[in-house]
Structure 1
Amino acid sequence: MEEIQNYILAVCSILIAVVAVYSAFRLFRDFSLKSPRVRAMRTSFVIILVSTGIWTMHLLGNLSLQGYGQAEGNPLFPLMIYGLTIIIVLFLFYRLRILQVERDQLKELAYKDALTGLLNKNGMDHFWDHCKENEQLAVLFLDLNRFKAINDNLGHHVGDLLLQAVGGKLSQFSSKGKRHIFRVGGDEFVIIAKHYSQKEAEQLALRVLEKTTTQYQLEQHNLFVSASIGITMSHGKVERSRLLKEADTAMYSAKQLGTGRYSVYKTPTSGSYARWFDNFKSR
């Protein structure tokens, strides 16, 4: 009877180990994409869960040892089960962490642009899918001026170097949970800023233009490149297609006005206006 009881205790201990490790793994899913508050809460839950699991397994092990002690049997078997359970816990946790790291790496490759290191279209789709419906957003659509001419005249290699240089400058404006930078194709980039007013979005556009409108030393080529930016606001309702279309329209309005300018999208009834960054107009 004591042996059956100890077998049951051993099986329960192993089941607790499996449940604890699997639950911890579930809590760590998409961990890096969560807000700091959610990450802190999930980490606390995992610590409590694992601690409770280990403590419960410890109690079951003690019960098993006590049962053998009362029966004056050999305690070697429960000791082996107890140690084996701990080893299983550590092994499962180690293997699941490896799987999670590999999955995060694959997800990073799927969401990041290989050339610039910025988020790509997949990353932007993921952002929209996890965006609150009433989120206050500022969307900035950036396009490089004369990029096609540079690509055609100097070759795609130089064009790629320019995109890498611009991507490096834009990455400085990335702020986790606040500003997200995407390369959506060719020389087109999208910046999405959370909880921004229109004034703050315009100030951000000026800083981006100041950083990206400059001389680029690309191998033996010294090129002056400027950018144009279109801005639109979510106005309390997030509609990805509308916001991207409005920002793109505003960007073309800025491009028609010259180099190094930004334009804010307005409804057709209120018109639109543009401002510009002209530190380099004399060049």
Structure 2
Amino acid sequence: MARRSTSNENKIHTSFTESYRKTVNNDIEKTINVDQDGQLITEPISEYDLVSEGEVVKTIEKMSNGDTTTTYTKTNIYRSKDSIIKNILKNNDPRVMEVANQVGVNNTRVSIRQAEELSRIELNNKVADIFTDMVNQERRLYKKPMIQITNDEKAKKEIAMRAVEVMYQFSHTAPSNMKSDEQYWLERLPGETEMGFGTENISGAYIVKSIENQLSDNLARDVAKGMFSQYIESERKSAHSDEPYSNENGHYRNIIMTDHSDIVVAVYLVDNGYSYHVSTAVATGTNFIES
């Protein structure tokens, strides 16, 4: 007797192979540089100063195939470089290296031309305004007559020579040698004002670079405050004691206690990368009219 087949026996068995893929996540780090108006900066970033560094913002995008892209975006805000800051020479500038060798090694004076090139008159003027105001506050406190910034423009160039020289030869004695083809003093015509230098005061310091002092107004403030600290605050107690005139109080006496009517200020800054090397020269004296 034949065996009857069951329905199960008549079924056709088929098999399926399912394929899987591992989803992939791509990480992207992105930095966007914008100006203070929010506009994208497309020029070389070296032409700008950093104002603020943004927080990292994380975003995730899912693709149609299941993959994801995680983007970490930081938006930094910059401002155009201050023209005065931009023109401060770096320590590897050929002009800086030349004058360092000229003064420090060859004992040769800085000329008027070099002083104009190396010591920026715009920054000098800013520092002079702030420093002189601080000096007059000190003078007023001790009942001394007010002092004014000289109107002898040539004196400003002459004191700038000393500001450069003292960075490489810190001495009240100027270098011995002079170049035969350079100018070291300026003649005044009859009727012109000439400031006679009655005192000379010199200093040197380093100022750490910061976001704030990449604006020339702020840098001038920092330089002037440093000068006031060195010349005035550190010597105030000694100058007002019964101690004689000395290295411990000479700057204070020269700048505060003199009866000179005029003051002239020069600064020389070199950009060292993380800081500014600063040398300063301050003279007080009295103006007279050239006959």
Q: TM-score range by the shorter chain?
A: under 0.3
What is the TM-score of this pair, normalised by structure 2?
Answer: 0.27
- Structure with higher strand content: 2
What is the TM-score of this pair, normalised by structure 1?
Answer: 0.27
| Higher gyration radius (CA) | 2
- Structure with higher helix content: 1
